[in-house]
Amino acid sequence: MTQLAQRIAEARSQLHGHYGFQDFRPLQRRVVQSVLAGRDALAVLPTGGGKSICFQVPALVLGGLTVVVSPLVALMQDQVDNLKRRGIAAETLNSLQPAEEQARILERMAVGWLRLLYISPERAPRLALELLRRGIRPSLLAIDEAHCISEWGHDFRPSYRELAVLRDELGRPPTVALTGSATPAVRKDIVRSLGLARVDQHIGSFDRPNLRFVVERLRGNAPRLAKVRELLAPKTGTAIVYVPTRNTADSVAQALWFSGYRAASYHAGLPRERRSEVLSRFTAEDLEVVVATSAFGMGIDAPRVRLVAHWSMPPTPESYYQEAGRAGRDGQAARCVLLFHPQDADLHQRQLNVTFPPRRQLETLWADPSMRPRYPAGVVASADRLRLELRPESGPVDWSGVRRRREVAEMRIRVMEGYAARCRCRRAALLEWFGEEVPSCSGCDACSTSGKRTRWFRPWNRSAQ
């Protein structure tokens, strides 16, 4: 038996022992084989694809230290807690921890106790220095939510751009970049930005034939609430209602509760204990519906979600498809309903003036701090963020990157508006964005009303991917 075959056999054993699964899904298996063979890999596994297993299990087989870069502290902590429950030595380093706790974690790392160490991209340079000082070379570098590295991605973070330097400083360990949503342009940018050579690319299909996509054109909160009540009426399983703000999450959840539904809100403004309680009750189906912001998503595995409704149009096709894809993970029929009005797109366009303020506003705020009270808090926060990124005090500012990111954001809004407003196959419109070509379906309202087909539901088996 070759060394690779031995490693794959051990990976299956670790998978069964720690996760309870008999074998990997086909796409997971291909990613794990690349990693265990010491090759760089890019893995695009849509929602529900189990991408964390693709680096967590190899970390156990390879031994040594696996460094995992992830963008959200809450997500890192949830994954570390989950790993510890499975008996796997894992920790996270972040700026919210006391210095004593950080020192304790680094000491455990130094003596070889840790298998996985989660860090934010902002923390990466300091960790690299610590690893070099202690003579530790990671066995594997895993970059989660890798679309954040690309200016073409829907959630670009400048700090991700520095990960190529981190990789060089760590001696270019085998690297796996993972994401749940990436267009062909984003995938190309990830590979280029990280300097991955002869990379194995494993791209899962985004098609979910068991999901029915529907758009309802509504204006105002009262009609939207009435439609949500109507959608929830069958009570065939659990439901998620995504809303744009925390206040909306609380008010809609309260309205549904008074309408007789076991409902709760979920957003980043709630205490961590409350969020954990809501997630546990929803997974156990003690709650019928969760009304949530985009904070509700990472790490959720509730297979019997029969409905995902969006209160209004999300700003990107990636976020919409990722959130909608939390429906029907058991392979059975489920509905993804978008409540839409053209004003939704106008609101997102206006928000771009906050996220990317005009150049004149930025230069005014940078030059004269006394002007800050005259601008909205969001504009001031964006000015501070862009100042750290562009460093105007160091010389002439290159505005091209900011312009490009705004143009890409505007394009995404137009794509979502087109998806909602046009009478064409909604499934095909979404999948084309991710580089897949599919024939018109019967799994959306546009195709059903055009009389193309009558039977829309096809079961989906995620274990086949």
pLDDT tens sequence across 84-141: 999 999 999 887 888 889 889 999 998 999 999 999 888 888 888 888 888 889 999 9
DSSP code of residue 195: T
Q: Which two tokens stand for residue 338?
A: 């978008």
Query: What is the reported pTM?
Result: 0.81
Counting every residue, how long is the chain?
A: 465
The full set of domains in the chain, from first to last, is 3-203 (3.40.50.300), 211-237+304-344+412-459 (3.40.50.300)
Whole-number Å distance between alpha carbons of 40 and 55 = 12
Whole-number Å distance between alpha carbons of 450 and 20 = 45
- Which of 338, 361, 325 is CA-nearest to residue 418? 338
Q: Which two tokens stand for residue 274?
A: 């409350």
Q: What is the mean pLDDT of residues 32-59?
A: 91
- Which of 455, 423, 204 is CA-nearest to residue 321? 204
Burial zone of 464 (CB within 10 Å; 0-12 exposed, 13-18 middle, 19+ buried)? exposed
Whole-number Å distance between alpha carbons of 187 and 189 = 5
Phi (first) and psi of residue 185, to 5 degrees: -65, -40
Return the pLDDT at 442.
63
Q: What is the mean pLDDT of residues 182-200?
A: 90
Radius of gyration of the chain (CA): 23
392-436 pLDDT tens trace: 888 888 898 889 989 999 999 999 999 998 878 899 899 999 988
Element (H, E) at 58: helix 53-62
136: which residues sit within 8 A by CB, 6+ positions away?
A: 65, 109, 110
330-369 pLDDT tens trace: 889 999 999 999 899 999 999 999 999 999 999 999 999 9
Strand extents, DSSP E, 180-237: 200-203, 211-217
